[in-house]
């Protein structure tokens, strides 16, 4: 290993790369990682100097508060490679803003942009060979923070670790996606942490999702916790409904995540003259639209999947098949968004940031 240093980040290079051992055509999402990771600790009330070092396990005290009280947050981002081998990020400042909103809600310290953004650009520059050209090829970015302070007293930690790890990826979902509308379980509650990308939000979904999968469904469309009448999110994604020629999606709230892909699709749709209505959509509305034929599309939107069309849904034991539509709005928007991300179309919004 060799130690280098910028003014703000120490860099310890791996002796050799494992990149030649990776089959980039057959990647299992989130299971292969690049040669390096970024680590930055918070202690004694201050962020320490970040270090980029070889990817490796690390020691942690069994009483670390992340294990006992769940102080853990994360983000999901991607890097893209243009045709000229340039590497691009997509709206990274939005991820930083949301990360710090999650930190505040979980009583964790906010991460400065000099650590989050500058650290991200530095590690991506080191790992740029892991970003492959071609639509569908990305480098998935997982910034996260955990409470590493020791002790099992129920109070926030005083020590935290912020990290960035990178994973080459292709498409997240494959095949047809059928969903079941939640009637009992909820993803989040008023006053809770649904708007934070907190680790516990996702673990709480696993059991109801397992039940749905046992019935032959890939995901759940979550409903509000109080009445189970409002449609909110699809699995780990924001969700859109096309009724006639209008796209509907729920407003963000303390229950619903402020998705970067969601807000980007809304802006793209408006630019293309597609009517978008941001409001709560009721289960009864969806059922009525499915019955009278005005329901044309449902699709999830998120960083990993970008856009994931849904072919049908079940509610109270009845399954509703959606029509097969050529040149759907979902696929139109996905095409326009990915072309911006890969620098194959003009970025009129100023969303892309070069590394």
Q: pLDDT band for position 172 (50/70/90)?
A: low
Q: pLDDT band for position 174 (50/70/90)?
A: low
Q: Give dist(CA 313, CA 179) in Å, integer.
A: 5
Average per-residue pLDDT for the chain:
94
Give the pLDDT confidence of 33-48 residue by residue, as tens digits: 999 999 999 999 999 9
What pTM was estimated for this model as a whole? Answer: 0.94
pLDDT at 166 > cutoff 50:
yes
Q: Does domain 178-341 have CATH number 3.20.10.10?
A: yes
Task: Give 220's strand partners.
Answer: 180
Give the pLDDT confidence of 281-317 residue by residue, as tens digits: 999 999 999 999 999 999 999 998 889 999 999 999 9
Q: pLDDT band for position 75 (50/70/90)?
A: very high
Residue for token pair 């970040």: 50
Residues in the chain, total: 355
Q: pLDDT band for position 8 (50/70/90)?
A: confident
pLDDT the model gives residue 3: 45
- Across residues 141-153, what is the average pLDDT? 97
Q: How far apart are the first and last CA of the chain?
A: 24
Task: Specify the range with the lowest mean pLDDT, choosing from 146-160, 168-182, 291-305.
Answer: 168-182
Q: Where in the chain is the domain with CATH 3.30.470.10?
A: 2-169
Q: Give dist(CA 341, CA 328) in Å, integer.
A: 20
Give the pLDDT confidence of 226-273 residue by residue, as tens digits: 999 999 999 889 999 999 999 999 999 989 989 999 999 999 999 999
Class of CATH domain 2-169: alpha beta
Q: Where in the chain is the domain with CATH 3.20.10.10?
A: 178-341
pLDDT at 94 > cutoff 60:
yes
pLDDT the model gives residue 6: 56
- Across residues 112-140, what is the average pLDDT? 96
């Amino acid at each position: 290993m060799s130690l280098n240093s910028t003014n703000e980040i120490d860099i310890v290079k791996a002796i050799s790369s494992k990149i030649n051992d990776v089959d980039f055509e057959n990647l299992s999402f989130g299971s292969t990682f690049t040669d390096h990771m970024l680590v930055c600790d918070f202690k004694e009330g201050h962020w320490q100097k970040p270090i980029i070092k070889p990817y490796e396990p690390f020691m942690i005290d069994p009483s670390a508060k992340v294990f006992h009280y769940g102080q853990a947050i994360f983000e999901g981002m991607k890097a893209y490679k243009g045709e000229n081998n340039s590497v691009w990020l997509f709206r990274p400042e939005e991820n930083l803003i949301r990360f710090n909103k999650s930190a505040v809600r979980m009583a964790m310290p906010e991460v400065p942009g000099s650590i989050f953004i500058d650290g991200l650009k530095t590690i991506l520059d080191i790992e740029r060979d892991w970003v492959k050209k071609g639509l569908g090829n990305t480098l998935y970015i997982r910034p996260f923070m955990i409470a590493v302070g020791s002790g099992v007293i129920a109070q926030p930690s005083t020590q935290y670790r912020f990290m960035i790890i990178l994973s080459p990826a292709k498409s997240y979902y494959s095949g047809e996606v059928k969903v079941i509308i939640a009637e009992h379980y909820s993803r989040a509650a008023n006053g809770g942490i649904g708007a934070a990308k907190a680790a516990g939000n996702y673990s709480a979904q696993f059991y109801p999702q397992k039940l749905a999968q046992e019935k032959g469904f890939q995901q759940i469309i979550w409903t509000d916790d109080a009445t189970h009448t409002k449609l909110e999110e699809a699995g780990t994604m924001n969700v859109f409904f096309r009724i006639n020629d209008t796209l509907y999606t729920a407003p963000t709230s303390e229950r619903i995540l402020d998705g970067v892909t969601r807000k980007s699709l809304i802006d793209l749709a408006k630019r293309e003259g597609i009517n978008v209505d941001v409001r709560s959509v009721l289960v009864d509305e969806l059922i009525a639209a499915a019955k009278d034929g005005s329901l044309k599309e449902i699709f999830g939107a998120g960083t990993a999947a970008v856009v994931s069309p849904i072919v049908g849904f079940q509610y109270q034991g009845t399954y509703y098949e959606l029509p097969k539509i050529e040149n759907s709005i979902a696929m139109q928007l996905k095409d326009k968004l990915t072309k911006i991300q890969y620098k194959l179309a003009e970025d009129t919004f100023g969303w892309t940031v070069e590394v």
